[in-house]
Structure 1
Amino acid sequence: MLRVYLDQNKWVDLARAATGHRLGGRFGDALALARAGVAAGTVSFPLDMYRYWETSKRGDNRSRNAVVDVMRELSRQHTMALPFGILDEELDRALQRRFGRPAQPRRQQVFGVGLRHITEGRMNWPKLDLNMLPDGGLSLPDHPRAQLNHEVTESIEEHLLRAGPATLLASGFDHAASDHGQRFVDFENTLAAYIKENHLTKNGVEQAVRGTDFIDIRPALIEALEGIGVTYDQFMSNSTVADLMRFMDDLPTRYVTNVLRSAKHRQTQQKWEPNDFIDIVALPVASVYCDVIITEKQWIHQMRQGKIEQQYSTRLLSDAADLVEVLVDSSVI
């Protein structure tokens, strides 16, 4: 199955094609072929947590639901795991390559179905309540019972994807109060100031970026090291700076993360924006584990500079209309 990841603007392009919007005409063929591939079961358009997040920020109900309609049709609720669980497996595999253990690295199923897959089962739906039936549902055969459970799950999944800012605010969550993006910008601006103050270029920037990311993954690394009987101090005492750089680059999703961060730090004319946070956390998993990724030109350029296409055999595109060529070339329709 060909897995294609679309960032938010590309979903909007296909939604415009689906609704006959004046800006959607050039994406009509791409949408038609995508629909054919999904119907044939040969193409998957998985959603990640950040597609739910970005979609829920759209205040206009009509435009948000137009995007959701296309998302549900093409994704069929196929979803991708969060980066954190994937990092655990990548750490185990990197340690196995370095130390020969663990013998059995932890496994993370990257692709699955629904929000419960994304959240690794931490979200629980209300159970089907059949108490209103005369016998409490005891006489209901297994197949209809399973079908009812499926319909309830589908209804909840759809409701969660369609939820907008007003619905979330009524539930106690305020998008405007979430400062993840701004905290990310503040952190990267602090790092940028350090890079400038110390006149770092090329390898110096790479080392600084990977150094901060190493600090970020330290708790996960300590846990992984404990699993093979190595302490963090032992790991550090036997590692040079070059060793640590290579170790970070041996973690696929972190490699992509740091390719994107390093590239932006080298281009000082481009300021960090809160929206960059979503791209920096979302794109690495898709870039490593999907077959095709379609996102903004700036990120595609930076990933190509970092040899992501060659390293992970991922096709990188910036125009949703190019889906036509991708699907025809892949013979999946």
Structure 2
Amino acid sequence: MLRVYLDQNKWVDLARAAAGHPRGGQFADALTLARAGVAAGTVSFPLDMYRYWETSKRRDDRSRDDVVDTMLELSNQHTMALPFPLLDREIDLALKRRFGRPEHPRQVQEFGIGIRHIGEGRLDWPELDLSALPDGGVSLAPGLSSRLSELINQSAEEALLRAGPDAYRASGFAHSDSDHAERFVEFENKVAATIATNRLTGDAIDVAVRATDFGDIRPAVTIALGRIGMTYQEFMDGITVGELISFIDDIPTRYVTNAMRSAKHRQTQQKWEPNDFADVVALPVPAVYCDVLVTEKQWVHRMRQGKVDRRYNTKLLANTADLVDVLVAASAT
């Protein structure tokens, strides 16, 4: 099955095509082939937590529903795991390649069904309650109760995806309360200032970016080291700077993260923006685990600079219309 990840604006492209919007005409063929691939079971368009998040920020109900309709139709509620459990497994595997242990790296299922797969059982979820029926549901036809449970799950999934900022605010959560994006920009601006102050160029920028990233993942690395009976200090005492860089690059999603960050830090004319936060946290997972990633031009360019497409055999596209050739090729295999 061909796994195709669409960034938010690429879902909007297909939603416009589905709604007959004038700006969606150029994507109509891509939509037709996507529908055919999904119907045939040869193509999957998985969603991740960040698609739920970005969609829920869309204020206009009609345009949000248009996007959700297209997401539900093409995704079949296929979803991707969060970056954090994937990172834990990737660190275990990197340690095993270096030290031969842990014997049993932590396992994660990259793809699954619904937001419950994303949440890994951490969500309170409505369950089918047949206790109100006179016989407790005993008289239901075989398979009916499971079908009812499935319908409840689908309805809850759809409600979560369709909920807009007003619904979230009414439930006690406002998107504006989150300052992750602002703190991300502040952090990257500090990194940029350090690079400028020390006049770093070329490979030195890559080293600086990876050093700051290792500080970010240090807690996860420390936990993973504890699983093989090693302390963080023992690990650091036994590794050179070059070996540490190689170790970080051996963690796939962090390699992509740092390829994106390094490339942008080299282009000082483009400032860091809050919108970059969602891209830097969301795109590394599909860049590694999906077959096709369709995102904005700047990130396609930066990932190609970092040879992400070659390293993980991922096709990177900036134009949603270019899906036509990919989907035609997939249907011929």
TM-score (norm 2): 0.98
Q: Partner of 1:93 in structure 2? A: 93
Q: Partner of 1:170 in structure 2? A: 170
Distance 2:317 2:140 in 1: 50
Q: Partner of 2:229 in structure 1? A: 229
Distance 1:314 1:293 in 2: 7
Distance 1:180 1:280 in 2: 12
Larger mean Cα displacement after TM superposition, 292-301 or 200-209: 200-209
Shift of 1:141: 4.1
Task: Report if aligned partners of 1:88, 1:224 keep a CA contact under 8 Å in 2.
Answer: yes
Deviations 1:233-274 (A, max 9, x none): 110001111111110000000000000001111111101000
Distance 1:159 1:283 in 2: 25
Task: Report if aligned partners of 2:293, 2:314 keep a CA contact under 8 Å in 1.
Answer: yes
Distance 1:57 1:169 in 2: 11
Q: Partner of 1:320 in structure 2? A: 320
Q: Partner of 2:254 in structure 1? A: 254
Q: Aligned residues: percent identity?
A: 66
Shift of 1:21: 0.2
Structure 1, gaps ≥5 residues long: none
Shift of 1:189: 0.7
Shift of 1:107: 1.1
Larger mean Cα displacement after TM superposition, 137-146 or 107-116: 137-146
1:1-333 to structure 2, matched below 5 A, reads: 1-331=1-331
Task: Report if aligned partners of 2:5, 2:293 keep a CA contact under 8 Å in 1.
Answer: yes
Name the amino acid aligned to 2:182.
Q
Task: Report if aligned partners of 1:61, 1:164 keep a CA contact under 8 Å in 2.
Answer: yes
Larger mean Cα displacement after TM superposition, 212-221 or 128-137: 128-137
Which aligned runs of 4 or more in structure 1 are off by greater than 4 angstroms?
none
- For these two proteins, the number of residue pairs brought into alignment is 333
Distance 2:113 2:202 in 1: 41
Distance 1:332 1:153 in 2: 34
Name the amino acid aligned to 1:64.
R
Shift of 1:203: 1.6
Shift of 1:218: 0.8
Distance 1:310 1:188 in 2: 27
Name the amino acid aligned to 1:207.
V
RMSD over aligned Cα atoms: 1.0
Larger mean Cα displacement after TM superposition, 111-120 or 133-142: 133-142
Task: Report if aligned partners of 1:37, 1:332 keep a CA contact under 8 Å in 2.
Answer: no
Distance 2:142 2:272 in 1: 54
Name the amino acid aligned to 1:315.
K
